[in-house]
Structure 1
Amino acid sequence: MSMLQTTECNPIDELTRKPKSIEQTGVPIRQIETLVLKHLSQTTDADVITLSKQVGLPGNIIDQILQKQKSEALVEVRSDGRFNSSIRYGLTIKGRNLAHHEIQRDGYLGPAPIAIEHYNQLVLNQTTKDIKVTPEILREGLNDLILPENIVGTVGPALNSGRAIFIYGLPGTGKTYVSRRLVRLFDTPVFIPHAVSIGSQIIQVFDPIIHNPVNNQQDNLLLNSGYDNRLVLCQRPEVVVGGELTADMLEVTKDATHKVNRAPLQMKANNGILLIDDLGRQKVSVDAILNRWIIPLEEKIDYLSLSSGDHFEIPFEQVLVFSSNIHPAKLADDAFLRRIGYKINFGPISEENYSSLWHEQCEKHGLKSHSDTLNYVFYRLHDPCNVPLLPCYPRDLVAMCSNQISFYQQQPIITPELIQTVWDCYFVNDEQEVRSHE
């Protein structure tokens, strides 16, 4: 059986249970010993409770490690009259030298990792495929957006399919805005490990910029209570990358300054959404980006390697979304587009939806709109200039009207004259064309 296959004997409660022994941690004892030494090197001394919190393992395991290191003359008991309720440990000269050497070799300093096999099973058991999106869930999750029915009818099935999604259309049609809110539809939290162990190497996975812990985090040191402290209960991750995307971001990277292996974007996005925004504007070629996803999209497995030469595989369990202003046929060949499955075109909206957005923005800014202002917008501005009804325009134009009203201290009413003024500022290149149709 492949290590990426799910099994009935690995439910989520088993995978998140605290280890009761060094063997149950699933990682080499040397990695735990090294982390204890590193944490002790950052302070004068510490007790078992403090080290247990820092390493993320129960006190009985930490105590066992400390006793072994004490016998090896790496740590010693420190007596201090201020601390009479617990034994405190500090590094010997030998221990401090070893800790310094280990930090130079591998700078990771945090909770103990989980094994790569443990990680893979954890990801597979938290898949978004088990959450079925319905039209009601979609509308409720995106209730701050006005979605045309054709978009509802395509985005929902696309999410349920588990396949990659390609969203394209004109700038300002709400592609990125909608894409970044899709993760709301998967409201169940997931466990993210601080780090993962591959052989003798550690990869840092948890990223405080990407992973948002839920409020009910535990701080329970009892062996039989709570979940494994090497894991963090988080909202499902949402990773967004645009023009700054490089090929290196999709591979394990070694931070040369801190000497820490950092997980690639897709590993951080597992059990959530990875949005590659504005495809076609990256420094790396589109072919290179798309070719990177052929195997993961086909096999649902990603193959990675470390600078040490070690190779490993992880599940590709995320909703991969591409967003672009360029038609997909101009970016990818048919073979790749078949692997994506869902290509969703975000186009202009109806006058009804435009009007709803307009009034919503007026309410937001505390403005009223003159009765014939919208007719003026539709038939004297948009139509003559062949400007499509995009959802960004009500937001921008009403905001500019608010700026004008505030500056001139006028009545909070949007008139045709006012909208003409801001239109000329917004569409500066179309001014003469607008005037020629009056």
Structure 2
Amino acid sequence: MAPAITLAADAPTLSAANTGFMLICTALVMLMTPGLAFFYGGMVRVKSTLNMLMMSFISLGIVTILWVLYGFSVAFGDDKGSLVGWNSDWVGLSDIGLTELWDGYTIPVFVFLVFQLMFAVLTPALISGALADRVKFTAWALFVALWATVVYFPVAHWVWGAGGWAFELGVIDFAGGTAVHINAGAAALGVILVIGKRIGFKKDPMRPHSLPLVMLGAGLLWFGWFGFNAGSWLGNDDGVGALMFVNTQVATGAAVLGWLAYEKIRHGAFTTLGAASGAVSGLVAITPAGGAVSPLGAIAIGVVAGVLCAMAVGLKYKFGYDDSLDVVGVHLVGGILGSLLIGFFATGKGQSDVAGLFYGGGLDQFWKQCAGVFGVLAYSLVASAVLALLIHKTIGMRVSEDEEVAGIDQAEHAETAYDFSGAGGGAARTPANAPVAPAESKKVDA
């Protein structure tokens, strides 16, 4: 994310071009949350589809209101001890001028804050994939509100707010490797260690019910990610945003190939789910690094992320934690890889003059990246586990065993994703005494 620094010698003026560009990028990032909902919704069983969609959509409501009330102020207000920000004029967004510019840039504060809002919305939604099938919707909504307040808003200040400790240390995070993906992945791990495994984990088949829905979601995420990444430079007057756009495409393509190659060697097939997951792993890994590396570096980061994230998703079976939709394996591992590889592949010719080890810069930046990665990881892991434990011990985090087995959609939302017996279907036109073909007698895997 571009630093908010006022350049007194070069006072900015409002740019209609950059403002329009950033509003388009904001809309693209907003689209990522419904895209994520479809991606996750297709990966679960039929009986959990609507709940998975709703766990993403509710973030659009809750986090939006919190961001207006105090979230923007905590994340980007005046620094308080390198840990949080605060600006009372931003509470409720009532004292911000329509043409007031964001510090040192040519876009209004309102444009910057709504762009950042979409990041704040998406990040807790990412966590939901690890908790599929078993969390009360009211408990999840409360967790989103508390987590955004206690974890996301302060961490965003650490990484992108002027005065935040990671920002001042020089940690590079162009668009959210630490603040978004490591933050969400570590939180997911913390919560699942508290709430436990799904009934039937490692015993019952839990296959995705709709791979076309998964691919649709992955495609929407890929499309929206161009706004997520390229927009994070807050304009494109110097070409860095364009570099990030190119590297986003390059790394993602490389990650798809890396994941599929590993999958073919390891399991003997190129799967649709693997292609979609590989794309997301590449998008995650290039997010912190894309403004600092060359397209060749982006290829390397994408391939490494595709292979290692494909390997990492199997760790849940080895260590026994039930990360339902591989949030830890893709977002946490991918975020760590992308952030740390900056220390090797940064060219010194992109967003800054910082060079990595392979470009003569030594390991100085690598150690800074380690501090940012593991500082955010540790805080998010512990704080998220504590929040989940508090909710679990008060209102309860999980649905009952009967509700989980029968289906969380019906229990929590009184709806089902698909109506297999609707009027006008094939069954309604079939005579009562007609023979049933063997293929038609099979039950849908719920």
TM range (shorter): under 0.3
Q: What TM-score comes out, normalization by structure 2 length? A: 0.23
More strand by share: 1
Larger radius of gyration: 1
More helix by share: 2
Q: What TM-score comes out, normalization by structure 1 length? A: 0.24
